[in-house]
A and B are shown apart, each in its own frame.
Chain A
């Protein structure tokens, strides 16, 4: 989590037109996806879901900033386009880093880690229970919708009045279930704290991961490796 935070800070700390500087940071998500054997499809699907927000943020930049900032041969690229592309790259890097953290760590350990970092324990418990019961509540919602569809003569969308009543019933059912779950928890000695079965231990591997990753981020931020590599390649070619 700390490494991801360091990564996010590094990504957003680059100047708005610096696209080349961001490219070396692509190595981090690529390596983690490979090491964690995380299906690329999953990451891509969620990135697409969130993409409209990033597009909305950057879409007017090319119109607002038309000053030429870069020439690639005869093609002039305005500052607006550069910052737009930079926003999209930053979005891909930061969002994928967060998704990788979630996919690689798992929701449970992540919540426990948030608790260790000082998140109120009530919130941690709520997150964990939400993750467990959201599927069951959603299933109940689907069953209620199906029951409405089977008895409704009209095709198409649910009228607002029915929707309101259905949502209200779902809330009451969720509340009832919450009471039952709480009774089951209290029956087994719950005192307000969810205790992990295997509290995470700090291993030398974790220390090495933090050290190497953060070291690389600092190097990528300060030394501009893409530029250095480009100059080196040119020098070799000449």
Chain B
């Protein structure tokens, strides 16, 4: 049984205040795929991401991770295979030191101490952050916090990585390093972002959400170059596809 596969069928989600955040969303992501989820503010990106590990449960429709439908009963199993990286790393780093944060997941999986130590070491090494091990999270820079947050999820050895705005708040070089790092991961990746250039770099496939519905689902090279479609959905072309301001003024 592979947990790498993610399948969403007829997904609907309505918030308790009556806001219909997702309507009739269906797609399937194969093993090892990398998919970008893009859309304007309020299009339903974050709500969709929260469905993958059961932080929110569908009002109608189903979400399956591998062969397991995401329900209240299957949450522990689903959360073992889906690693969620939140938008604000401050929300994800809640322990006194980075190593305790990275160990948090494995300890909750009741792994023996030796295995926990090994997981912590491997996860920090994977994001080149072994030097941050004993540091308290509130002393880290934005980029370092992001690395620590990713390590804390990698330590759980997930099959699927779900990321909400991973490049938000990073300086250009830290952003570039993050892109290279994520490119190296063999996991199935689902990345929601406004950073369309990063989606271009990392995801061969893009799902465009507009007002809670799928407006387009296809090759990134096709979706993110369709100016009219993007404008209709409250977006614009990725920066690198827009005219160079220096050349235009000449």
Which residues does A use to contact B, with CB under 8 Å?
Answer: 106-108, 128-129, 131-133, 135-136, 177, 180-181, 183-191, 194-197
CB distance from B99 to the nearest CB of A (A): 6
Verify B90–A136 contact, CB threshold 8 A. Answer: yes
Contact of B80 among A186, A189, A191 (CB under 8 A): A189
What are 22 A-B pairs at a CB distance below 8 A?
Answer: A108-B100, A128-B96, A132-B94, A132-B95, A132-B96, A177-B91, A180-B86, A181-B91, A181-B92, A183-B91, A184-B91, A184-B92, A184-B94, A186-B79, A187-B84, A188-B104, A188-B108, A189-B108, A189-B156, A190-B104, A194-B95, A197-B103
A190-B100 Cα distance, complex, nearest whole Å:
13
Residues from chain B with a CB closer than 8 A to the CB of A108 are 96-97, 100
Task: Indicate whether A184 sits within 8 Å of B156 (C-beta atoms), given known contacts A133-B94, A177-B91.
Answer: no
Q: Min CB distance, B123 to chain A, in Å?
A: 12
Looking at chain B, what size class is its interface with the partner chain?
A: 20 to 34
Contacts of A181 in B (CB 8 A): 91-92, 94
* Secondary structure call for the B interface: helix
Q: Could you tell me the distance in whole angstroms from the C-beta of A174 to the nearest C-beta in chain B? A: 12
Give the number of residue pairs across the A-B interface with Cβ within 8 Å.
Answer: 72
Which residue of A is nearest B88, CB measured?
A: A180
Max chain A C-beta neighbours (<10 A), residue from B76, B94, B103: B94
Residues of A within 8 A of B99 (CB): 197
Contacts known (A136-B138, A195-B108, A197-B107); A185 close to B94, Cβ less than 8 A: yes
Q: Is the CB of A184 within 8 A of B108?
A: no
Contact of A131 among B80, B88, B96, B156 (CB under 8 A): B96
Q: Which residues of A have CB within 8 Å of B231?
A: none
Complex-state Cα separation, A186 to B109, whole angstroms: 12
> How far does the Cβ of A85 sit from chain B's closest Cβ, in whole Å?
40
Please give the residue numbers on chain B whose beta carbons come within 8 Å of chain A beta carbons, in ascending order: 50, 53, 55, 76, 79-80, 83-84, 86, 88, 90-92, 94-97, 99-100, 103-105, 107-109, 116, 120, 137-138, 152-153, 156
- B79 — which chain A residues lie within 8 A by C-beta? 186-189
Report B134 CB to chain A, min CB distance, Å: 11
Query: Given A128-B96, A132-B138, A135-B138, A189 and B105 touching (CB < 8 A)?
Result: yes
* Contact indicator B94/A180 (Cβ below 8 Å): no
**Looking across the interface, which residue of chain B has its beta carbon closest to that of A188?**
B105
State in angstroms the CA–CA spacing of A106 and B55 once bound together: 33
**What is the CB-to-nearest-CB distance from B63 to chain A, in angstroms, rounded to a whole number?**
15
Q: Could you tell me the distance in whole angstroms from the C-beta of B163 to the nearest C-beta in chain A?
A: 12
CA–CA, A191 to B156, complex, Å? 15
Q: How far is the CA of A129 from the CA of B94 in the complex (A)?
A: 7
With both beta carbons as reference points, the residue of chain B lying nearest to A129 in the complex is identified as B94
Cβ of B100: which chain A residues have Cβ within 8 Å of it?
A: 108, 196-197
Q: Which residues of A contact B104 (CB under 8 A)?
A: 185, 188, 190, 195
Q: Complex: how many Å from CA A184 to CA B107?
A: 15
B146 nearest CB across to chain A (Å): 14
Q: Which residue of A lies closest to B149 (CB)?
A: A184
Q: Please indicate the chain B residues that have their CB under 8 angstroms from the CB of A133 in the complex.
A: 94
Could you say which residues of chain A place their CB within 8 Å of the CB of B116?
197
CA distance A177 to B92 in the complex (A): 10
Residues of the A chain whose Cβ atoms lie less than 8 Å from the Cβ of B95? 128, 132, 194
Report the bound CA distance from A50 to B85 in whole Å: 43
Cα-based distance from A183 to B105 in the complex (angstroms): 13
State A136–B137 Cα separation when bound (angstroms): 11
CA A178 – CA B228 in complex, angstroms? 40
Contacts of B55 in A (CB 8 A): 183, 186-187
Distance (whole angstroms) from the CB of A110 to the closest CB of chain B: 11
Q: Which of A129, A180, A184, A191 has the most C-beta atoms of chain B within 10 angstroms of its own C-beta? A: A184
* CB–CB A188/B86 < 8 A: no
